[in-house]
Amino acid sequence: MKKYLLFALLVVYLYSCNTKKRVEKRPNIVLIMADDIGFSDIGSYGSEIQTPNIDFLAEGGMRFATFYNMAKCNPTRSSLLTGLYTGGNGAVHLAHLTKKAGYENIMSGKEHFDSWVPEYCKAENVFDQAFTFWATTEYFRPPSGDFERPFYLNGRELKAEDIQFEQSPMYKTDFITDYALHWLDDTFEKDKPFFLYLPYHAAHYPLQARPEDIAKYRGTYLKGWDELRKERFAKMKQLGVIAENTELSPPEGNLNQFRKPLVPEYVDYYPWDGLSESAQDSLDLEMSVFAAMVDRMDQNIGRVLDKLRKNGKLENTLVLFLVDNGSCPFYTNKVKDVAPGPADSYWSLRATWANLGNTPFRQYKQCGHEGGSHTPFIAYWPDRIAPGTITKQPGHVVDMAPTFLEVLKTSYPDSINGHATLPLQGSSLLPIFKGEERKEPDYFVSGLDKFRMFRKGDYKIVRLNGGDWELYNMKEDPTELKDLASTYPEKVKELSDAYTSLHLK
């Protein structure tokens, strides 16, 4: 009897050791970034756009009610991937950290940095496999030659006919995923932990989408932007992704004096009900194409999740989803007399639809106002992050690098490529993931220089077109409707002095 008891105890002990080992195993990391999508353009953040796979991550993980990017493509990517608001030699890419920890590194998607990011941080220098393009490229026939840039495979330029794709006609969101899935298969054979960085281009202009995806949304937007903003706002309150005291900002056009639309007859804002039926139908098509691009991205995120699930990897994978900036209002149409959608079209979204995407906030891409700098952010990590949670604690893309370090259980290097490393400017999000209160960072920065915001605690200063600082109490006024600058000039000076002392470029 004693022998059986000892044997049973040994089995229990070994099982507990294996379980502990399994729990402590470092997770795979998948970082997904969307492009030019507003805070409310995802289903789990209030949208009517169908995003079941992103919603799966939200429902099974944590949504942040307040998370900041840098309000534009290149500064967001620069800060996200280095943990710095600005830097230079001595910056460390996230993939340097994962490589140091023994991970396989994969990237497929958009690369776009500020000039301060060192050459050694470029994709071909930090990823084991990388399929990339710089800034903007078309979706159906990249590149056409007139507007856009080439694609690269591990730093080698690819002609359009050399891009590998599974579904014809070739479509960028799909073949970005094709490359990622192919490399994941190779990684699974190596049985190494992996870091997959998947920066999609959707739904950045040009508005091009598969016809079957567009058809799903035709007629959805005939209600118009005014009514849909109200519907999204109500849903966001119901979901709990905005505070109860949040007010819906009034309709607002593009006030950016430095980036005007390229269409002379364009008007920033007009009531939907005053438009003709034919105009409403045309505008319904425009927004339907945008929705189709978001939908197609979600379908591809589903392909990645399915791949992880079928290979037994999802349970030990930290999946992160966010957007590089708020919705884009810089309307243009480079190809006249061609409706948005097909390969020979070249439209961008107009401010009225972008205003819907940024519900309930003010302003747009490039701006430090919440409409430009506020991103949906979702963290999914089975058995580590409690499902269905929404946190009110604010975060920022510069927090990603400290988070990686803590998740990887590794240290920040002292030097990189012959340079002393620059100190990180964020702090780890891991306490929030665990359901704890983290010490809030001393400040958050976003927006381009003439549209900069600086937030410290509940107060935030922000400027528009290089003008005077505005001041808002973000706890009491989340949509920045009550400028307190003239009421509390001493608070403006306190924050502006603190911002100036950072010496950001």
The closest of 160, 159, 166, 153 to 127, measured between CA atoms, is 153
Q: Is the peptide bond before 169 cis (omega within 30 degrees of 0)?
A: yes
Contact between residue 201 and residue 172 where contact means Cβ atoms under 8 Å apart: yes
The yes-or-no verdict on residue 10 having pLDDT over 60 is no
Question: What are the structural domains of the chain?
Answer: 26-431 (3.40.720.10)
Contact between residue 327 and residue 71 where contact means Cβ atoms under 8 Å apart: no
Quote the pLDDT of residue 14. 46
- Residue 24: band (very low, low, confident or very high) from pLDDT cuts 50, 70, 90: low
DSSP string, 482-494: S--TTT-HHHHHH
* Bridging pattern class, strands 395-396 and 62-64: unpaired
Give SS3 for 469. Answer: coil
- Residue 15: band (very low, low, confident or very high) from pLDDT cuts 50, 70, 90: very low
Rounded to 10 degrees, what is the CA torsion of 150, 155, 161, 165?
-110
Mean per-residue pLDDT of the chain: 93
The yes-or-no verdict on residue 428 having pLDDT over 80 is yes
Contact between residue 422 and residue 91 where contact means Cβ atoms under 8 Å apart: yes
The yes-or-no verdict on residue 179 having pLDDT over 50 is yes
DSSP state of 115: T
Strand partners, 153: 131, 156
The closest of 332, 148, 346, 340 to 254, measured between CA atoms, is 332
Quote the pLDDT of residue 20. 40
d(CA 98, CA 119): 18
The yes-or-no verdict on residue 413 having pLDDT over 90 is yes
Contact between residue 401 and residue 410 where contact means Cβ atoms under 8 Å apart: no
pLDDT, mean of residues 45-54: 98
For the stretch 68-92, pLDDT in tens is 999 999 999 999 999 999 999 999 9
- Residue 143: band (very low, low, confident or very high) from pLDDT cuts 50, 70, 90: low
Contact between residue 25 and residue 191 where contact means Cβ atoms under 8 Å apart: no
Backbone φ and ψ of 455, nearest 5°? -115, 135
- Residue 12: band (very low, low, confident or very high) from pLDDT cuts 50, 70, 90: very low
For the stretch 254-268, pLDDT in tens is 999 998 887 777 888
Quote the pLDDT of residue 145. 52
Contact between residue 476 and residue 245 where contact means Cβ atoms under 8 Å apart: yes
Give SS3 for 58. Answer: helix
The yes-or-no verdict on residue 239 having pLDDT over 90 is yes
Q: Largest Cα–Cα distance of the chain, in whole Å?
A: 91
d(CA 14, CA 4): 15
The yes-or-no verdict on residue 40 having pLDDT over 60 is yes
- Residue 9: band (very low, low, confident or very high) from pLDDT cuts 50, 70, 90: very low
The yes-or-no verdict on residue 2 having pLDDT over 90 is no
For the stretch 195-227, pLDDT in tens is 999 999 999 999 999 999 999 999 999 999 999
The yes-or-no verdict on residue 238 having pLDDT over 80 is yes
d(CA 496, CA 505): 15
Contact between residue 492 and residue 502 where contact means Cβ atoms under 8 Å apart: no
The yes-or-no verdict on residue 8 having pLDDT over 60 is no
Quote the pLDDT of residue 13. 47
- Residue 33: band (very low, low, confident or very high) from pLDDT cuts 50, 70, 90: very high
Percent of the chain with pLDDT over 90: 86
Contact between residue 465 and residue 450 where contact means Cβ atoms under 8 Å apart: yes
- Name 97's Cβ contacts closer than 8 Å, sequence gap at least 6: 401, 404, 405, 408, 410, 412
